[in-house]
Amino acid sequence: MTIRACTCRVRPVFPAPGILGYAFSLHIFYNDFLIPEDQGISAAIFPRLRADNDMTKPWKQIINAAVGLRQDLHRIPELNWSEVQTSARIRKELTRAEISWRPIARTGTIAVLAKGASGRSIALRTDIDALPLEEETGVAWVSKTHGCMHACGHDGHTATLIAAALWLKQQEMHLPGPVTLIFQPAEEGGHGALRMIEEGSIDSVDAIYGWHNWPALPFGQAVCPDGSVMAGNGTFRITVTGKGGHASQPEMCRDPVAAASAIVLTLQQIVSRRLPPQQAVVVSVTSFVAPSAETVTPSQAVLAGNIRIADNEMRDIVNNLITQIATDTAPAWGVKADVEIFPRYGATVNDPDEAERFRQILCREFGEEWENRSIAIPVMASEDFHSRLSRHDTGRSGLHGKCLFSRGCRGANGICSPPSL
């Protein structure tokens, strides 16, 4: 069995776009769900399931509840593998909706709707962790946790999946196949997706869909390309060791600051001179630490940085160049360079067939202007959704369908989300 997945990037003004994204995933996967041309989106997500013309009433109630949930989650951000309060709230909402769930991967949660349905099985995934940032927005639902903030929008992602869960639960008896709801912890560098896969989160899944809000895109637009949609990433640390001494006697020292500076400058040549210009690669030195007094040459300097790659095959090439440049430059300055490489996430690569089907639905629902063609693709940010797109690497059967898309959330005033969110 193979699984296909699709990922897109989107920017929502309120949680509804995410709900629609998940719903469209279901629609395109179950081809017998046809949306009438004369129906609005909120009333026509699952038109075959519509019992009467009052369908929009529970839909609006769900959206209002999702907005409130998003604000509640924003107040209690938690870092990766520490999402205790967040998971408790997710599970409370699922229990209230009479949706059975089970814990997975420590602070993760998984639920399955229409478990006994005979059709193909799909999964909808969200991430739930926050970032180690101090919030300075001043909104009424500002973070109550010092040094922690939902700056990547995972609170909105979570609220949308809860909303989709509530909607699908109402229609559960009509679903043609099982729908797995995945609330994943530790996306921000914690490899939460891999842990969930190892614990069987997608063992019985045929296709998986995900989405990401994206502030660079205006509301109502999205990107959903074939191939790479988000970059892979990794970090590195270079420790340059020399000989310290008094600044008045440079000939007695082996200056690690000068040597590290030369390494920084030479690393800039990787992208501009060592790689084909057609390759999307970023090499950034983001930290330079060499503490000392004003009159003392230190004995050590430590560089740290980050790489981004659109093609997973470029990882070893870039890492080898970093190591080569550092270790070859150091002897010219009479110092030693030790390089440590820390791979993180691979590039997120959409299945072309699933991405094309998703684009057709986006065009149909949002019109010809749905696609933002000004943003450079792939986005050089990273996502651990890639773990699900390369499930075969774990030694298990691969997903047949996989798609991640990004949706815009920038309003006309340039603000990412309105006060109601």
Average pLDDT, the chain: 84
Per the structure, how many domains does the chain have? Answer: 2
Q: Are residues 78 and 215 in the same domain?
A: yes
Residues 221 and 339 in one domain: no
The CATH number for 78's domain is 3.40.630.10
Shared-domain flag, residues 244 and 273: yes
Q: Which domain holds residue 296?
A: 232-343
Pairing of strands 281-289, 348-350: unpaired
In this structure, the answer to whether residues 153 and 112 fall within a common structural domain is yes
Residue 74 lies in a domain: yes
Contact (Cβ atoms closer than 8 angstroms) between residue 405 and residue 211: yes
Whether 75 and 220 map to the same domain: the answer is yes
Same domain, 218 and 362: yes
Domain closes at, from 284, 314, 343: 343
Q: CA–CA separation, 321 vs 312, rounded Å?
A: 15
Q: pLDDT tier at 408 (50, 70, 90 boundaries)?
A: low
Percent of the chain whose pLDDT exceeds 70: 79
Evaluate if residue 137 carries a pLDDT over 90.
Answer: yes
Check whether residue 142 and residue 242 sit in a common domain.
no
The answer to whether residue 274 sits within a structural domain is yes
Last residue of a domain, one of 327, 343, 359: 343
| Edge-to-edge strands, sheet with 232-241 | 281-289, 300-309, 232-241, 336-343
Distance between CA atoms of residues 357 and 2, nearest Å:
17
Residue 107 in contact with residue 217, Cβ under 8 Å?
Answer: no
pLDDT for res 35: 32
| pLDDT per residue as tens digits for the range 324-373 | 999 999 999 999 999 999 999 999 988 888 788 778 878 887 888 888 88
* Residue 357 shares a structural domain with residue 393: yes
| End position of a domain, from candidates 315, 343, 371 | 343
Which of these ranges, 46-60, 117-131, 150-164, 361-375, has the smallest mean pLDDT? Answer: 46-60
> Which is higher by pLDDT, 311 or 398?
311
Same domain, 364 and 304: no
Give the Cα separation of 291 and 296 in Å (integer). Answer: 10
- Could you tell me if 203 and 296 lie in one domain? no
What the block records as the tokens of 286 is 């983001």
Residue 18 confidence (pLDDT): 44
Contact (Cβ atoms closer than 8 angstroms) between residue 187 and residue 105: no
Asked whether residue 407 carries a pLDDT value surpassing 80, the answer given is: no
Shared-domain flag, residues 276 and 385 = no
| Axis-axis angle for helices 16-29, 352-366 (nearest 10) | 120
The residues pairing with 39 across neighbouring beta strands, listed in sequence order, are none
CATH number at residue 309: 3.30.70.360
Residue 416 lies in a domain: no
Reading the block at residue 288, the tokens are 């330079």
Can you give the pLDDT at residue 55?
53
